[in-house]
Amino acid sequence: MTAHAMLRVSTESGPLAGARTLLYKEVLRFWKVSFQTVAAPVLTAILYLLIFGHVLEGRVRVFGTVGYTSFLIPGLVMMSVLQNAFANSSSSLIQSKITGNLVFLLVAPLSHWAWFVAYVGASVVRGIAVGTGVMLVTVWFAPLELANPLWVIVFSLAGAALMGALGLVAGLWAEKFDQIAAFQNFLIMPMTFLSGVFYSVQSLPPVWKTVSHLNPFFYMIDGFRHGFFGVSDVSPWTSLAVVAASLAIVCGLCLHLLRIGYKIRY
């Protein structure tokens, strides 16, 4: 943060003092390297669509009449939203801790609420930006309708906020990049890929169907997909309840860790 930004923080008041300045800084951080943070995930999603869509289109029908490529697109969009929202907050905080510039945030009069709003808000912005990019590019590959846009908006925002808060928790816990990579490779990636992005859980054996229903990522993607087709593996209200409960738990944990200065105040 620059001296001018620090002055702006000091002249604001209330629990969210400085949140807007820090949010601007966090959005600018990832947008300056948008080719890496936005364009690259969009390209990855396109490759998934080309490979899986080409192999399975015409062989798999989902929800009775939905083509496989059409089914796949919302899953890839939501997967991109979740992964990039997590990556934004976790990578930003661990970079600040390792490079030592976290001290500039610690000396500023920022409450734990300001930290939370700024980091999670920037994660939501990045997640939605990447998801929108994936949607705009992939929608040309298959017909797609919006049966209920409200569900699309609700689950995309709630999912991005949840993953942004979880990324912040991971960034607070981690002390080096290896730990963030382990968190992402052994928790985020498996839960994302096993959440029904590439398949309907109704096609799974009973044991794996039960396991899938224990995965909160499944409800985020299934509820999001319901907004496009009007049908889903479970009720969107059930998905909303699970996502809301998960969001409350993760946000509560994140705010508590920020309030006590876990691994950022020595």
Give pLDDT, residue 7: 40
Domain coordinates of the chain in residue numbers? Answer: 16-260
Give pLDDT, residue 149: 94
pLDDT by residue for the chain (266 residues), tens digit each? 544 454 454 445 566 768 899 999 999 999 999 999 999 999 999 999 988 877 666 666 676 677 888 889 999 999 999 999 999 999 999 999 998 888 888 888 889 999 999 999 999 999 999 999 999 998 888 878 888 999 999 999 999 999 999 999 999 999 999 999 999 999 999 999 888 888 888 888 888 888 889 999 999 999 999 999 898 889 999 999 999 999 999 999 999 999 999 988 75
**Amino acid making up residue 6:** M
DSSP for 19-73, please give it. Answer: HHHHHHHHHHHHHTTHIIIIIHHHHHHHHHHHHHHHHHTTT-EETTTEEHHHHHH
pLDDT digits (tens, 9 = 90+) for 144-192: 888 899 999 999 999 999 999 999 999 999 999 999 999 999 999 999 9
